[in-house]
Amino acid sequence: MDAAVEQRGLDNVFDSNWNGAASQFLLRWYSHSTHHERLLFAGPDGITFAAPPKRVSSGRDRHAQIVARLSPDEATLEDPFSGKFEPRIPLIRFHDGSWLRVDTEESRSELHIYALRHSSPGGA
């Protein structure tokens, strides 16, 4: 799996296209909160991001606020390997083909299951 991740460039945070929708979203995302962890919720209405407004040492989930939303027309969540591996890195794929990598704390999380159920065949 490590070789496949590296070959597809998925060892990067985003696709490295600074003009793409993914990088522009990433820059706006960081301006909402300096905390390095985000909560991500995916559903039929899109993807919602929540984060504490600043770095907090405890209770970060209690202090989280919605900082961004992406509609299904803007971006979708996908498993880049269509279930072949058990990665902890689903992708947020933007309308222009650019992507952000999402690291999760567990393999086969609810995000992965959602991505597998709603991804187009073939993945990235």
**pLDDT score, position 9:** 73
21-59 as b/e: b if 16+ CB within 10 A = bbbebbeeeeebbebeebebebeeebbebbbbeeeeeee
**pLDDT score, position 34:** 65
pLDDT tens series, the chain, 124 aa? 677 777 777 778 789 899 999 999 988 877 776 666 777 888 888 888 888 766 555 555 566 778 889 999 999 988 877 767 655 678 899 999 999 988 776 655 555 555 555 555 444 4
**pLDDT score, position 88:** 64
99-101, strands of its sheet edge to edge: 75-78, 91-94, 99-101
Q: What is the pTM of this model?
A: 0.70
